[in-house]
Amino acid sequence: MPGARRRMRGEPEVMVHPSDAERAEVSEGDPVELSNRLAAVRLDTPASRRGDFTAILREVRWELDAMGHAKVRIFVSGGLTEASIRDLNRYADAYGVGTAVSNAPVIDFSLDVVEVEGAPRAKRGKLTGRKHLWRCPKCGNRGIAPAAARLGNCPACGERVRDLLHPLLRAGRRAGPYPSAREVRDHARREIAAAPDPFAETP
Ligand SMILES: [Zn+2]
């Protein structure tokens, strides 16, 4: 699957690889695709797929060089940190960094289509279909399971896990009564008391 090519205003040209590209398939692209005006290849890969990212970059560099495109640079983005840049420096020429330089702890997430009209459908690297999002009330362990699966006991401590997802609206109408302000406050207090210290050193 050749990457979609995006022409910036005027020049240069940058070839963008889709984020689900497991392998950078530069070598399989139409040779015409890699014109002499191509300035860079951009790889945007979520942090969850970072395992062999250095190997992917090495492969892209290799193929570009082998095709006589030594001047084409490699631009990398997606969940980068100071540490990962150190590893990628050998092959990458430029970086797009967002989350790591924001000034507060962040919850990094993305939204993906995983089901269409009840049929599981997702891009490569994503788990298809609706899911349970569960949490163990005893040890705080969390996880996901297919919506069709029955939730059981926590694999860590054996306590029965709870489903965290509850419908609030059905066909545009409230699915049930909302909790009272007191219930919300009591719940928040319990959760805060049980939460880990946000200032603790992360391992
Ligand atoms: Zn547990």
What is the structure's pLDDT at 113? 93
> How far is ligand 1, taken at its centre, from the CA of residue 160, in Å?
8
CB-proximal residues (5 Å) to ion ligand 1: 136, 138-139, 141, 154, 156-157, 159
CA of 142 to the centre of ligand 1 (A): 8
Give the Å distance between the CA of 135 and the centre of ligand 1. 8
Measured distance CA(75)–CA(44) in Å, rounded: 8
- The rounded Å distance from CA 167 to ligand 1 centre is 24
Closest CA to 41 of 86, 91, 116: 91
- In the prediction, which pLDDT does 132 show? 92
- Give pLDDT, residue 30: 45
pTM above threshold 0.85: no
Residue 14: predicted pLDDT: 63
List of E strands, the chain: 5-7, 13-17, 38-44, 73-77, 94-96, 115-116, 119-120, 131-135, 142-146, 162-163, 169-170, 173-174
**Low-confidence stretches of the chain (pLDDT beneath 70):** 1-35, 46-51, 198, 201-203
Q: Where are the alpha helices (DSSP H) in 67-116?
A: 82-88
As a whole number of angstroms, the distance between CA 189 and CA 159 comes to: 22
What's CA 132's distance to the chain center, in Å? 19
